[in-house]
Amino acid sequence: MLQQKGYKSTNQREEILNILFENKNEHLSCEDVHKIISKEKKDIGIATVYRTLQLFEKLGIVYKINFDDGVTRYELNTEAENHHHHHLICTQCGKVTEVKLDLLESLEHEIEIEEGFVVSDHDAKFYGICKECKNKEK
Amino acid sequence: MLQQKGYKSTNQREEILNILFENKNEHLSCEDVHKIISKEKKDIGIATVYRTLQLFEKLGIVYKINFDDGVTRYELNTEAENHHHHHLICTQCGKVTEVKLDLLESLEHEIEIEEGFVVSDHDAKFYGICKECKNKEK
DNA sequence: TTGTGTGCAAAAATTTTGCAGGTCA
DNA sequence: TGACCTGCAAAATTTTTGCACACAA
């Protein structure tokens, strides 16, 4: 991995990166990552997990997200899609799913014209009832 | 105020509500609210501020927002606009401004069709460079 | 070797909670 | 009066930090 931006490649950093890859569609908190590490026999100090994820964020490897549950979560920045971050949060069961649709471009364009604000990224959360919960109601 | 939803009207709750009104365009944390109260001679326990803002959120009086600075913030739910929550966050100076545009409706419609997810609210943050910082660069 | 990185434990920061007493309806 | 509210301080949670030691380059 390209830690050749002036940072060293260490076992801890590689391990944490692995975990992020293996849980691509999760939104892990530092605590979560640390628990997974513990389960896999290895052991890394929780402080290192915090420091590493902060570093990864600075380097653009992960994004920070917050679902108002009291902890900061991170997700891999899969630069395949350009910028993104659309989450559907079910207010009934709490499930979080991702959406790929990127219709915010027109909105961003409008913001740029109306407000003179140059958008470089966004983070959108939609609250509502997911398909499963909706079906259950019937 | 309509605390007649089964909750009592107390001095503390009214005072906190006043502060929210007087700072309509701010995004206050519990700490912020508590500091403002202290400045205005009055004194309310910080625990009460936390409990009151949680109550207000449950009652739909305020919205919870999070700008990844480690604290939960609240803003008045001005039901004038339907649902909303668009914030422009300048990555240079940190300033947060509101946008009124509501172009997310078409996106919500699409989400409903594609994912079967019924959207009831959203929260969108746009990161970028604000007008002032952009001008400064030149 | 040498500057970075790590682990530990202590500290900080934010939020929650138990309980005794106070207040509103 | 009686249930609800508040204040305080203690506790719980999450995150940060200092420092001695370890390790990658």
* Mutant choice from A86, A98, A115 vs B, greatest count of B C-beta within 10 A: A115
Q: Is the CB of A9 under 7 A from strand D?
A: yes
CA separation for the pair A19, B60 (Å, rounded): 38
Q: Which residues contact A127 (CB under 8 A, 6 or more apart)?
A: A89, A91, B119, B120, B121, B122, B123
* pLDDT at residue A22 tops 90: yes
- Check: CB of residue A87 under 8 Å from CB of residue A75: no
CA separation for the pair B123, A111 (Å, rounded): 16
Q: How many CB atoms lie within 10 A of CB B124?
A: 24
Q: Which residue has the tokens 């364009």?
A: A109
CA separation for the pair B112, A114 (Å, rounded): 28
pLDDT tens digit sequence for A89-132: 998 888 899 887 767 788 889 899 988 999 998 899 999 999 99
DSSP-based three-state secondary structure for A110: helix
- Check: CB of residue B118 under 8 Å from CB of residue A138: no
pLDDT category at B38 given cuts 50, 70, 90 is very high
Backbone angles phi, psi at B75, to 5 degrees: -140, 150
Q: What is the mean pLDDT of residues A59-69?
A: 93
In chain B, the domains with their CATH numbers are 1-80 (1.10.10.10), 82-138 (3.30.1490.190)
In chain A, % of residues over pLDDT 90: 59
* pLDDT at residue B63 tops 70: yes
pLDDT tens digit sequence for B8-18: 999 999 999 99
Q: Is A118 on the interface with B (CB under 8 A)?
A: yes
pLDDT tens digit sequence for B86-130: 899 998 888 899 887 767 788 889 899 988 999 998 899 999 999
Cross-chain Cβ contact B127/A122 below 8 Å: yes
Q: Is the CB of A3 under 7 A from strand D?
A: yes
Question: B22 vs chain A: nearest CA distance in angstroms?
Answer: 25
In chain B, % of residues over pLDDT 70: 91
With contacts defined as CB-CB under 8 Å, which chain A residues touch B54?
none
Cross-chain Cβ contact A115/B131 below 8 Å: yes
* pLDDT at residue B80 tops 70: no
pLDDT category at A31 given cuts 50, 70, 90 is very high
Q: What is the mean pLDDT of residues A28-52?
A: 95
Question: B75 vs chain A: nearest CA distance in angstroms?
Answer: 15
Cross-chain Cβ contact A131/B110 below 8 Å: no
pLDDT tens digit sequence for A73-89: 999 988 666 666 789 99
Q: What is the pTM of this model?
A: 0.89
With contacts defined as CB-CB under 8 Å, which chain B residues touch A66?
66, 68
DSSP-based three-state secondary structure for B109: helix
